[in-house]
């Protein structure tokens, strides 16, 4: 697959591929201010839970490089402001909060402010490479589940763009293809933000994997007609019992998969697991602007004054999930015992 | 509700509200050639199974008014060409084929060609008023199922626009509102053609019924959180066992409704019932242009060269359907016995 890295650290800037402009245009942004990184995450110029984590890490690095704080106390106060800005971007993605905690711990452990700055930059780079490595590994585990001849349904975008690495669900698919398996993908367009039509289609095309684009409403039709071998999605947060928050529409695909007896897989690095939450009921679900529903690519599709709701994620209870694919192996029920061991 | 009749017979022309331009513009077309009526049906300027039937009836009337045929044999040959053009528009809507058969029978029963012309025009007008009357009646039956305080999920558009009458699923909702019940609607946008966002929202707004627009992918979220009291949809064809073809995405809503124990209702006039088919497996499913998926309102959303599929309907097996609401009453299992009596 051609290089399509969504984020790069340039020493004193963050280079981002603006995903809101794909597939029409490949526009790169170079950001020097952490506020701009926070805005880019909020506006989904970079998105996907693992990639959000990496972007937040670099955003924090940018922020602390610019602080004039001389004492550690002063530095920690500045850092708090920076991490709060990052935390306020997308409430559902667990990877974001992991990164924030990790960066805070590094800062607290340090003594000299200049040393802490360097340590935080190094840590951000390390987080990026760990996430990339994790998706590469989980893709190898996951590809074992993909048989030659499979037609795989996936939702939203979970490739390099979403992970700053190899990809989660789409990484599994790419790995199966690289193993020489003859596979085909059905990609849902993923309203409202059309990550499937815009981003997954773009990545699949570049990877020369044959695919068919469908609307979200068509998944049931193709599953019921036996056209789909399995469903694979990514995750934004997995609680200790295996319940999984992912892009709105994922839950519906899980119900359809179970109704028709096909496997439903979740692929995510262990950084997506949140053992502090007992179940999916506790996951905060981001509510985005109704305008994303009433408008498509800026064009109004509904009568003026139409009210809409826009939950960005839903929760799939663990009993719909055939397996969770991580960089530490493939996890099955009982998730509550097995996730504890790897997270 | 303000008048929003999608079709009117003007004696020698058919006046159509161009539904592809709603809600932005209310544009009326006056058609004098049956080919234009066939194109308007194909291009979904008029849509919804009952309204398609009415449009085809008027299209046939227009066609025969213009034929110069003098003998009955010659007339029947011309009529065959006209009905073939109508039959080639939308293969799934049963109402269309009922109308064609009915018009053919009238023609065959007549003797004098001028008398047959007059009889066909009268029959088209009668079909229109029967469909309007049927939806008014079925709405009254259906409203009994709607309790005060209900939040009703509906899909696609099934109102006056879709029926050239009062509406099927949306007619039931309007009737419940007119009975003074405090209700709320969740309307799915209904990709790819956005009939929910464009047309149902337009009708609900005019009827002052409070509603929330959601993407198709959000239905599972709101149903799983207990926000929906029941689902009501229309139908394009109902087979003798109760299996129902309706707008793509309907089947998924039925599976979700059953998973969460809420009723799933189908509302349709008996003209939608096709006793000649044993089950939904036999219903021809219209495949529309992939461009409706890769583009929204003419704007490309996917990379160039993206392959897409676009089945316009899916089939909900009868065992997911809590009741079928018709102008002859509310039908429940065993559909196979009960539909036979009313169709």
Determine the distance in angstroms separating the CA of B283 from the nearest CA of chain A, rounded to an integer.
13
Catalytic residue among B33, B216, B236, B281: B236
CA distance B258 to B231: 10
Best CA proximity match to B171, nearest among B159, B155, B154: B159
Q: Contact, B243 vs B308, CB < 8 A? A: no
On chain A, the residues whose CB falls within 8 A of the CB of B297 are 296, 299, 301
CA distance B281 to A280: 38
First to last CA, chain A: 30
CA distance B117 to A153: 53
On chain B, the residues whose CB falls within 8 A of the CB of A302 are 23, 189, 197-198, 201, 213
First to last CA, chain B: 30
Best CA proximity match to B236, nearest among B285, B171, B174: B285
**Do the chains contact at A301 and B212, CB–CB below 8 Å?**
no
| Dihedral of the alpha carbons of A212, A214, A216, A220, in degrees to the nearest 10 | -80
- Full pLDDT tens readout for chain B, 343 residues: 345 689 999 999 999 999 999 999 999 999 999 999 999 999 999 999 999 999 999 999 999 999 999 999 999 999 999 999 999 999 999 999 999 999 999 999 999 999 999 999 999 999 999 999 999 999 999 999 999 999 999 999 999 999 999 999 999 999 999 999 999 999 999 999 999 999 999 999 999 999 999 999 999 999 999 999 999 999 999 999 999 999 999 999 999 999 999 999 999 999 999 999 999 999 999 999 999 999 998 889 999 999 999 999 999 999 999 999 999 999 999 999 999 999 9
The predicted-structure confidence for A95-151, as pLDDT tens digits, reads as follows: 999 999 999 999 999 999 999 999 999 999 999 999 999 999 999 999 999 999 999
The predicted-structure confidence for A46-94, as pLDDT tens digits, reads as follows: 999 999 999 999 999 999 999 999 999 999 999 999 999 999 999 999 9
Best CA proximity match to B280, nearest among B311, B237, B337: B237
Catalytic residue among A18, A112, A236, A314: A236
In total, the C-beta contacts within 8 angstroms joining chain A to chain B are 172
The pTM (predicted TM-score) of the whole model is 0.97
Q: What is the DSSP secondary structure assignment for residue B276, as one 8-state letter?
A: T
Alpha carbon distances (Å) from A307 to A41, A291, A310, B123, B223? 25, 9, 10, 42, 18
CA distance A119 to A336: 35
Q: Token match 């060609």: residue?
A: B113
**Do the chains contact at B211 and A308, CB–CB below 8 Å?**
no
CA distance A195 to B285: 28
Determine the distance in angstroms separating the CA of B250 from the nearest CA of chain A, rounded to an integer.
8
Determine the distance in angstroms separating the CA of B32 from the nearest CA of chain A, rounded to an integer.
31
Of A248, A303, A312, A315, which to mutate for an interface test with B (greatest number of B Cβ within 10 Å)? Answer: A303
Best CA proximity match to A326, nearest among A244, A247, A207, A256: A244
On chain A, the residues whose CB falls within 8 A of the CB of B303 are 23, 201-202, 205
Asked if the ipTM is above 0.85, the reply is: yes
Catalytic: B114?
Answer: no
Exposed (0-12), middle (13-18) or buried (19+): which is A329, by Cβ within 10 Å? middle
Question: What helix, strand, coil percent values describe chain B, rounded to 5?
Answer: 45, 15, 35
Of B26, B184, B217, B306, which to mutate for an interface test with A (greatest number of A Cβ within 10 Å)? Answer: B217
**Do the chains contact at A191 and B189, CB–CB below 8 Å?**
yes
Structural domains of chain A in order of their starting residue, each with its CATH number: 7-136 (1.20.120.420), 140-342 (3.40.50.10470)
Of B20, B225, B303, B307, which to mutate for an interface test with A (greatest number of A Cβ within 10 Å)? Answer: B303
- The partner residue sitting opposite B219, judged by closest CB among A201, A252, A290, is A252
**Do the chains contact at A188 and B214, CB–CB below 8 Å?**
no
The predicted-structure confidence for B217-233, as pLDDT tens digits, reads as follows: 999 999 999 999 999 99
Determine the distance in angstroms separating the CA of B26 from the nearest CA of chain A, rounded to an integer.
12
**Residues in chain A, total:** 343
**Do the chains contact at A217 and B293, CB–CB below 8 Å?**
no
Taken in order A238, A243, A249, A253, the sign of the CA dihedral is positive
On chain B, the residues whose CB falls within 8 A of the CB of A192 are 215
Q: What is the DSSP secondary structure assignment for residue B311, as one 8-state letter?
A: B
**Do the chains contact at B217 and A248, CB–CB below 8 Å?**
yes
The predicted-structure confidence for A230-273, as pLDDT tens digits, reads as follows: 999 999 999 999 999 999 999 999 999 999 999 999 999 999 99
Determine the distance in angstroms separating the CA of B329 from the nearest CA of chain A, rounded to an integer.
29
């Amino acid at each position: 697959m051609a290089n399509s890295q969504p984020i790069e650290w340039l020493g004193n800037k963050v280079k981002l591929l603006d995903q809101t402009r794909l597939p029409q245009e490949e526009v790169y942004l170079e950001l020097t201010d952490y506020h701009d990184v926070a805005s880019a995450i909020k506006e989904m110029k970079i998105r996907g839970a693992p990639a959000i984590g990496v972007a937040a890490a670099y955003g924090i690095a940018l922020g602390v490089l610019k602080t004039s704080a001389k004492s550690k106390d002063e530095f920690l106060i500045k850092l708090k402001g920076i991490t709060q800005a990052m935390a306020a971007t997308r409430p559902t993605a667990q990877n974001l909060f992991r990164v924030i905690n990790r960066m805070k711990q590094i800062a607290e452990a340090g003594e000299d402010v200049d040393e802490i700055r360097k340590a935080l930059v190094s840590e951000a780079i390390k987080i990026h490479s760990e996430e990339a490595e994790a998706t590469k590994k989980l893709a190898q585990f996951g590809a074992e589940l993909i048989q030659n001849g499979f037609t795989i349904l996936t939702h939203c975008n979970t490739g390099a763009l979403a992970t700053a690495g190899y990809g989660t669900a789409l990484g599994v698919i790419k790995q199966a293809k690289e193993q020489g398996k003859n596979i085909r993908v059905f990609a849902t367009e993923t309203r409202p933000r059309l990550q499937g039509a815009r981003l997954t289609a773009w990545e699949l095309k570049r990877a020369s994997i044959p695919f068919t684009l469908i609307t979200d409403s068509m998944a049931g039709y193709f599953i019921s007609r036996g056209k789909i071998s399995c469903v694979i999605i990514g995750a934004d947060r997995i609680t200790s019992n295996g319940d999984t928050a992912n892009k709105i529409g994922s839950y519906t695909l899980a119900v359809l998969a179970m109704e028709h007896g096909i496997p439903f897989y979740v692929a995510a690095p262990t950084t997506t697991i949140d053992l502090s939450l007992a179940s999916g009921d506790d996951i905060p679900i981001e509510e985005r602007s109704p305008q994303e529903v009433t408008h498509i690519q800026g064009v109004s599709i509904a009568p003026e004054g139409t009210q809409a709701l826009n939950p960005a994620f839903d929760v799939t209870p663990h009993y719909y999930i055939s397996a969770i694919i991580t960089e530490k192996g493939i996890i099955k029920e009982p998730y509550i015992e097995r996730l504890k061991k790897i997270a």
